[in-house]
Amino acid sequence: MIRIVIGSAQVSRDTISLTPEQSHYLFRVMRAKPGQKVEALVSGQMLYDCAVTQQPDLLLQVASHAVAVPISITLAQSLLKKDLFAQIIEKGTEAGISCFVPLVTERSIVREISAAKQQRWPAIAQEATEQCRQSRVPRIEKLSTLGRLAEFPAAVKLLLDPDGVNIMDWLAHSQPDVRDWLIAAGPEGGLSDQEISGLRSAGFTAVSLGPYIYRAENAGTVAAGILTSWAFSSLSSPGDHF
C-alpha cells in the first residue's frame, strides 16, 4: 500500500489535494494509476483511505465512508479474576482495540462469563468509544480458545511474551504493510510453554514490551497503544517520501 503524509489543510470534504512533491512521488516514482488505493496520513491524527482520481489536478478521492481508519486491532485475552476484563475493555478501547475475544486458556482461573458481565461489557465498550473519539464501538466476541484463533482472518498475529522480541524492533524490521493485527495475551499466570509453541506454529510472532513484566490486565492495552501510535506515525510506512 502506498502511503503519503499530508497536512490537515490538504483535506477538503472528501478530496485531498497534493503538493507538487507528493504528485511527483505518486505519479512519477510510484507510477500510480487512477483508481489505485493510497493511504493519506495526518501524523498522529487521521489516516484516510483514498483512491487516485482521473482529474488532471491530481486529487485523491477519500473513500466513500468519508474518514476511514484502516486499522484493526483484535485482542484475544484470557479471562481474568474479578472484573479485570471490563477494565481491559475500557482501557484497551482508548488504545485503539477494535475487537475483544475473551479466551479460556490452560491457566485461566475464571472460565466462564456471567450473564451480568455479558450485559455490562458492551456498555463499557460503548462508553469508552464515546470518551476516546474512536469512530466505531469495538465488537466483543463470544468466549473462545487459543485453538480457534487460527480461524481469525487477521493478517499479522502477535503473542505477548516477555521472552519475545521487542515490539518496537519487530515493527521497525518487519514493517507490516497491513494494519490488521491480532494480539494474543494470557491470564495472570501467563500462557503455558505448550500454548506458546502452539501459537508460534500457528503463525504468531512472540513480542515483548521491554524488560518489565506487565500484569495481565495492563499488557494488552500498552501493546495496542504502541501499535496505534506506530500506525498513525510516519514511521509506519517504508520509503523516503516524508
CA distance 97 to 181: 10
Q: What b/e sequence results for 196-216 when a residue is b if at least 16 CB atoms lie within 10 Å of its CB, and e otherwise?
A: bebbeeeebbbbbbeeeebeb
102/220 with CB nearer a copy of itself: 220
| DSSP H or E stretch at residue 28 | none
Residue 106: burial class (beta carbons within 10 Å; 0-12, 13-18, 19+):
middle
Least gap, CB of 69 to a copy of itself (angstroms):
8
9/115 with CB nearer a copy of itself: 9
Residues that bind a copy of itself (CB under 8 A): 43-47, 69, 90-91, 94-96, 131-134, 164-169, 172, 208-215, 218, 221-222, 225-226, 228-235
CA distance 84 to 100: 13
152/230 with CB nearer a copy of itself: 230
Least gap, CB of 172 to a copy of itself (angstroms):
5
58/165 with CB nearer a copy of itself: 165
Please name the residue that has the C-alpha cell 481474568: 80
144/233 with CB nearer a copy of itself: 233
Residues in CB range of 193: below 8 A, 6 or more apart:
none
Least gap, CB of 216 to a copy of itself (angstroms):
11
Least gap, CB of 213 to a copy of itself (angstroms):
5
Least gap, CB of 231 to a copy of itself (angstroms):
7
